[in-house]
């Protein structure tokens, strides 16, 4: 049985939200309740920014997890990257340049390992580029003028993060052909159980996801506000 995928439009520890609402939600989806869940951060899309890795480590230690990072820059020839993913309960992918990230993953066969562990029940999650990557198509600002590119195809349809941050995103979402098309503003998370859309949640009051299932414009999805700790 495939595990969960959570596509995060924005927010959380990488965007200065220290409430832990998003991250506690992710941990609630783990099927195996370890005393210290093993959480792996993959920051390829941001060139393995040390600042982002440090934020991750600090935040998930405070949540009682066993965190680890998996940087491709510099590449560690002595480390088994595929086994590192297999050992994780939750894989969290950071934001940045989605096309560049996917090119690196495909070069190393890392995309195939991610599919393998997801199909075995591992929870996959990510923000921005780390949310885009799971879908057939995604909307990105990492190409000239912004546009639509092909993702890994774990989930059907199209995804757009940061829906409320740039005016060009909503018109593009309204025209994409790969449906269903989902949009998530900052603070909003879309949870998929396997390939089935399960729910939308938000860490910021008043934010909601949208979905387009036919030629009509995107419509709001019921979006549950996550409780404070």
**Neighbouring residues of 38: CB distance < 8 A, sequence distance ≥ 6:** 65, 66, 68, 87, 88, 89, 90
Whether 191 is catalytic is no
Q: Are 110 and 101 in contact (CB under 8 A)?
A: no
**CA geometry: angle at 188 spanning 67 and 111, to 5°?**
50
Spell out the long-range contacts of 26-29 with Cβ–Cβ below 8 A and sequence spacing 24 or more: 26/90, 26/92, 26/123, 26/125, 27/63, 27/65, 27/90, 29/4, 29/123, 29/191
Q: Which residue has the tokens 């070069």?
A: 107
Q: Which residue has the tokens 């995928």?
A: 5
Whether 28 is catalytic is no
Q: Find the catalytic residue in 128, 142, 191, 203.
A: 128
**Neighbouring residues of 44: CB distance < 8 A, sequence distance ≥ 6:** 71, 72, 73, 93, 94, 96, 100, 101, 104, 105
Q: Find the catalytic residue in 2, 4, 162, 191.
A: 162
Tokens encoding 125: 């999650």
Active centre residues (catalytic): 128, 162
């Amino acid at each position: 049985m495939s595990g969960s995928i959570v596509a995060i439009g924005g927010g959380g520890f990488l965007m200065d939200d220290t409430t832990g609402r998003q991250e506690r939600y992710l941990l609630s989806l783990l099927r195996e309740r370890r005393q210290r869940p093993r959480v792996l951060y993959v920051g390829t899309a941001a060139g393995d920014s040390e600042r982002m890795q440090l934020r991750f480590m600090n935040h998930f230690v405070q949540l009682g997890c066993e965190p680890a990072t998996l940087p491709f820059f510099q590449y560690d020839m002595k480390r088994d990257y595929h086994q590192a993913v297999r050992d994780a309960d939750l894989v969290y992918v950071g934001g940045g340049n989605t096309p560049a990230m996917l090119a690196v993953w495909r070069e190393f066969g890392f995309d195939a390992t991610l599919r393998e562990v997801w199909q075995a029940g591992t929870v996959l999650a990510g923000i921005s580029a780390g949310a885009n990557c799971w879908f057939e198509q995604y909307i990105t600002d990492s190409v000239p003028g912004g546009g639509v590119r092909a993702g890994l195809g774990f989930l059907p349809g199209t995804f757009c993060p940061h829906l409320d941050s740039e005016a060009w995103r909503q018109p593009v979402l309204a025209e994409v052909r790969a449906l269903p098309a989902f949009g998530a503003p900052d603070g909003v998370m879309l949870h998929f159980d396997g390939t089935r859309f399960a729910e939308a949640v938000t860490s910021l009051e008043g934010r909601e996801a949208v979905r387009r299932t036919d030629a009509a414009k995107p419509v709001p999805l019921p979006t549950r506000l996550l409780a404070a700790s």
